Amino acid sequence: MHLRRKLTLILSCYVLFATVSAYKPLVIMHGILTGRKSMVSMAEHIQEAHPETEITIINKYAAWESLAPMWHQVVDVGREIMKISAAHPDGINLIGYSQGGLIARAILQQFPNHNVKTFISLSSPQAGQYGTQFLHLFFPNLVRETAYELFYSSLGQHTSVGNYWNDPYHKELYYNYSKFLPYINNELESPYSSQYKYGLTKLDNLVLIGGPDDGVITPWESSHFGYYGENGSVIDLRKQPAYVNDTLGLQTLDLKGKLLLIKIHGVSHLQWHKNATVIDKFLLPFLD
């Protein structure tokens, strides 16, 4: 009897350990003009629900440094994530918030040998940005109608925002000047186009989260790869050329049930990573 109890205890401990260890390591990329500290509360909330989860919050490009060119951030942070990836051959999960979600997504494409299983984009300008609400912090007189004059220039392309500024009324300038977004979105063909597609299609889950009360990402549908058409109305993801022609692999993911579009009302841009309901209902279920 004593031996049976002992074996039962050992087995219970093993099951508990296996359950606790089931959560994959998680990497989090912060948003623009913030840094590691801004994501600590979210990380702690996740660890509370998923004990023993190994979480790394990227500690680079905080505050004003977040305005560094996107390719520079993608390559530098990507190397760090690839080191974490290599240390965990069974796979890791990745969350990117705001600009950090666009950086994180581009890393998956620039480093297609990653082993990220689930990527969650939390209110990120995946199809670009055409709003100046938060830009007034560093460009106080900027209005979106004339912002292209700054961003579609050599100087403007030395800023992260300029790299994903997508003015729907000046597309020719966008394609001629933008050094980042039209390439990483495979709007313009490059020697890396097939690599960029592969880096996304190998995911188990691509989770895109956004909502109409965001107030910063403009249009908010950009968080779902939707964007303005020529007449100023928003074209949803599934009617976008990138989806219809499957140039980025979004249709491939969708048909396999690996693309999830989550629309949440009542959450402002600065609250996505702090909102307990968002974390509990829309992040945790994907962080196995």
Please determine, for residue 15, whether its predicted confidence score (pLDDT) is greater than 90.
no
Whole-prediction pTM value? Answer: 0.92
Mean pLDDT across the stretch 213-219? 97
| Residue 5 confidence (pLDDT) | 55
In tens, the pLDDT along 47-57 reads 999 999 999 99
260 forms beta bridges with: 207
Among 123, 167, 178, 214, which one carries the catalytic annotation? 214
Residue 114's closest CA among 224, 25, 12, 18? Answer: 25
Is 129 in contact with 164 (CB distance < 8 Å)? yes
Whether residue 98 lies in the annotated active site: yes
Measured distance CA(38)–CA(15) in Å, rounded: 35
Catalytic annotation, pick one of 98, 123, 160, 223:
98
Average per-residue pLDDT for the chain: 93
Centre a 10 Å sphere on the Cβ of residue 169 and count the other Cβ atoms it contains. 13
- Examine the residue annotation and report whether 190 is marked as an active-site residue of this protein: no
Give the chain's domains with CATH numbers.
Answer: 24-286 (3.40.50.1820)
**Confidence (pLDDT) at 94:** 98
Residue tagged active-site, from 170, 224, 269, 273:
269
pLDDT per residue over 225-253, tens digit each?
A: 999 998 889 999 999 999 999 999 999 99
pLDDT greater than 60 at residue 150: yes
Question: Is a pLDDT exceeding 70 seen at residue 12?
Answer: no
Q: Which pLDDT tens digit goes with each residue over 117-135? A: 999 999 999 999 999 887 8
Active site residue 265: no
The 3-class SS string of 51-108 reads: CCCCEEECCCCCHHHHHCCHHHHHHHHHHHHHHHHHHCCCCEEEEEECHHHHHHHHHH
Which residues, including other chains, have CB under 8 Å from residue 267's CB and lie 6 or more apart? 123, 211, 213, 214, 275, 278
* Residue of 108, 95, 123 whose CA lies nearest to 253: 108
